[in-house]
Chain A
Amino acid sequence: MSTLTIDKAGPTRNVKYGSMSRDRAWALRWSYFFLTLFAIFSLVPPLYMLITSLKGSAEISAATNPWWVFHPTLENYVGLLTSNQFMRFFFNSAMVSIVVVIITMLISIPAAFALSRMKFWGSATLATGVFLTYLVPDSLLFIPLFKMFALIGDVTGIQLINRWYVLLLIYPTLTVPFCTWIMIGYFASIPKELDEAAIIDGASWLQTLIRIFIPVALPGLIAATIFAFTVSWAQFLYPLVFTTSTDQLVLPVGIVTSLIKGDVFNWGQIMTGALLGAAPPLIIYAFLMDYYIAGLTAGATKG
C-alpha cells in the first residue's frame, strides 16, 4: 500500500513543483561540463601548434612535458618570416585567394540575380545544375582537369601546368557554384516589390542589381566572400596536383612539401607555418563570425 502512495504522489509532485529550478541548474552544470570537454577537444590541435611554434628545436626533441613551453623563443617565426621561400608561398596564396574571390563575385552575383529574379527558359534547370555542381568534389575532377590543361599546353604552347595562375581558372569551379547558391537564397528573400518599383521607375536590370540588390543582400555577399576566400585559401588537392616548383606553390602545399625534407620533420617550423597558414581564415572568422555562420547554415540547406 505504501509503495502505491509513493508511486502516485511522490515523484510527479516533486518534479512538477519542487525541483524544477534545481533540475535546470543541474542540466546547466552538465551542459557547461560537457561543453568544456568538447571545447578542449576542439582547441587542442591549434593550441598545440602555438605551443610548439614557441619552442626551439632542442626543447622539441627533449623529453620534457610537451604541453608547456619552458624557454619560449620566436626563432621559428623569425626564421619563416625572413625566409624568401615561405613569404613566396604566402604571397602566392594571398594572390590566388584574392583574385579568385573577385572572379567568383563577378560571375556569381549577376548569375544569382538572373536565376532568382528573371525567370527564363531553363532557369530552374540551371539553378539545380548549380547545386549539383556544388556537390561535385575536387577529388573527382583533378585527374581529367590535369590532363586537359596538360593537353592545352601541348597543343597551344601556353603552359598552364606548374603555374600558380592555373589555380585562378580551377578554384572558381569550387567557389562559384557555392556562392551562387548562397546568393540565390539571399536574393530570393528580398521582397519582389522592391525591384518591381525600381523597374517601373525606369531603372535597368543592371541598375536594379547594383543599387538595390547588392546593398540589401550585403550580409549574404559578405558570407559568400568569406567562403570563397576560405575555400581558396584552404584548397590542398589542386595545388598539389597542378604546381610543383617551389616558387609556384601556395601555402598549404608549400608547408607540407618544403618543410618536410625526407624523413626529417622540423616540427617547430612546420607548426609555425601551419599556424601562420591558419591565421588569415581565423582572423576573418574572429571578426565576421556571424556572417560565417549565416553563410554556413544558408549554403548547405536553403533553396
Chain B
Amino acid sequence: MVDAVIGENTVARPRRAAGRKGLRHALKRKSTAAFLMTLPLILLIVLLVVYPALYSVHLATLNKSMQRFVGLGNFEFLFKRDTFWLVVKQSCIFAITAVVFKALIGFIVAHFVHNIPAKGQRKWRGMLLVPWVIPPAMSTLAWLWLFDPSYSAFNYTLAFFGIGPIPWTGDAAWARFSVILVNVWYGAPFFMIMYLAALKSVPEQLYEAAAIDGANWWQRIWYVTLPMMRNIIAITTLFSLIVTFANFDIVRILTAGGPLDKTHIFATWAFRVGIEGSDIPLGASVSLFMVPILAVAAIFILRDVSKRGNES
C-alpha cells in the first residue's frame, strides 16, 4: 500500500515533492523501527534495573520474615546500631582516601608517561595498566597472600630491614590501610590512562607559548595543564567515587569486614546482613544508603556530560 502511494505521487507530482513525501513515510517507519531496535534495551533497563531498584525500597519496609510492613522500622533499627555508624564512617574514609590517592598517583604517573619519548610510551602504559586488567577478585587474593602474617613476602622483606611484623589485615588501622592500598593499586591505572588521554589533547602550542612567557614547570601545570584537563579530572573522579563507594570484591576478599566489622563498607555489610544473615529487608535498607551519594555524583557527572554534549 505504501508503495502504491509513493508510486501515485511520483506520477502526479514533480520529483522533489515525491521525495519529500517518501521521506516522511520513511520517518514514520523510522520511529517504529527505532523503537523496536531499542526495545530489548528498554526491557532490560526496566525489568532488571529500575524495577529491582524500586523493589529494593519496598523490601526495606518489611520485617525480617517479609510478612509484615514495618515502615521505616529497619532504618530506625540501623540508626541505633553502632556497627551501622562504623560502616558509614568507614565507607566515607575508604572512598574519599582511595579516590584522592588514585587521582594523585594517576596524575603524577600520567605526567611521567607523557614526558618520555612517544616511542617507549606504549610499553610503560602496558605495564602500568596491568592492575586494572586483572579481575580484582584474583588480584586481591595475591594481596591477601602478600599480607599473610606469618609466611608472606611483605613481612619477610620488612624483617630484612629490621622492621617488625605488621598485622596487615589483623589490626583495625592496618586493615583499613590495606584495603585502601589494594583499591589504590587497582584503580590508579584507570586515572592514569584517562589523564594521559587528556594530556595528549592539550595543544603543544600552549606549552610553547607558556615557555616563551617564562613560565616554570609548576606554572605550566597550574595555568595550562590543569584548566585544560579540568573536565576529565572532574568526571573521572566522580565516576571513580561511585565505583569505589560501591566496591565489594576487594574488601570482601581481603578482610571480609573484619577485624570486628572495622572495615565493612555498605556493600559488604549489606551482603553480610542480607545474604549471609538472611535478613533481606535489612540488607536492602543498608544498600539503599548508597543511593544519595551515588545520586549526587551522578547528577554532577550528567551535568558535565550534557555540557560537553552541547559544546560539541
Verify if B4 is at the interface (C-beta below 8 Å from A): no
Please tell me which one of the listed residues B34, B141, B232, B287 contacts residue A270 in the complex, with CB atoms under 8 A apart.
B141
Task: Tell me the nearest residue of chain B to A173, going by C-beta.
Answer: B48
Contact with B along A119-162 (1 / 0, CB 8 A): 01101001011111101111111111111100000000000000
Whether B138 contacts A118 by the Cβ 8 Å rule is no
A143 to B3, CA, bound (A): 53
Task: Tell me the nearest residue of chain B to A93, going by C-beta.
Answer: B135
Verify if A172 is at the interface (C-beta below 8 Å from B): yes
For the complex formed, measure the closest distance between the CB of A88 and the CB atoms of chain B, giving whole angstroms.
Answer: 17
Task: Tell me the nearest residue of chain B to A20, going by C-beta.
Answer: B211
Interface of B is mostly: helix
Whether A107 contacts B40 by the Cβ 8 Å rule is yes
Whether A123 contacts B34 by the Cβ 8 Å rule is yes
A46 to B306, CA, bound (A): 39
Verify if B174 is at the interface (C-beta below 8 Å from A): no
Known: A31-B115, A43-B130, A141-B56. Is A136-B38 also a contact (CB below 8 A)? no
Task: Tell me the nearest residue of chain B to A35, going by C-beta.
Answer: B112
For the complex formed, measure the closest distance between the CB of A207 and the CB atoms of chain B, giving whole angstroms.
Answer: 12
Task: Tell me the nearest residue of chain A to B135, going by C-beta.
Answer: A234
Whether B128 contacts A66 by the Cβ 8 Å rule is no
Within 8 A of A (CB), among B113-158: 113, 115-116, 122, 124-131, 133-139, 141-143, 145-146, 148, 151-153, 156-157
A285 to B258, CA, bound (A): 34
Whether A113 contacts B41 by the Cβ 8 Å rule is no
For the complex formed, measure the closest distance between the CB of A123 and the CB atoms of chain B, giving whole angstroms.
Answer: 7
Whether B275 contacts A146 by the Cβ 8 Å rule is yes
Interface of A is mostly: helix
Residues of B within 8 A of A49 (CB): 138, 141-142
Binds B, one of A1-9, A71-79, A215-223, A273-281: A273-281
Known: A32-B116, A132-B302, A303-B312. Is A140-B127 also a contact (CB below 8 A)? no
Please tell me which one of the listed residues A147, A240, A252 contacts residue B59 in the complex, with CB atoms under 8 A apart.
A147
Contact with A along B188-201 (1 / 0, CB 8 A): 01100110010000
Whether B44 contacts A107 by the Cβ 8 Å rule is yes
Verify if A180 is at the interface (C-beta below 8 Å from B): yes
Q: A173-B48, A271-B142, A278-B139 are in contact. List 18 more A-B contacts (CB 8 A).
A: A38-B128, A44-B146, A63-B156, A114-B33, A114-B35, A129-B45, A133-B45, A135-B242, A138-B246, A140-B291, A140-B294, A143-B280, A143-B287, A274-B141, A281-B134, A282-B134, A285-B133, A301-B231
User: Chain A: residues with CB nearer than 8 A to chain B?
Assistant: 12, 27-28, 30-32, 34-35, 38-39, 41-46, 48-49, 52, 60-61, 63, 65-67, 106-108, 110-111, 113-115, 118, 120-121, 123, 126, 128-133, 135-148, 169-170, 172-173, 176-177, 180, 199, 205, 230, 233-234, 236-237, 240-241, 252-253, 255-256, 265, 267, 270-271, 274-275, 277-278, 281-282, 285-286, 289, 292-293, 296-297, 300-301, 303
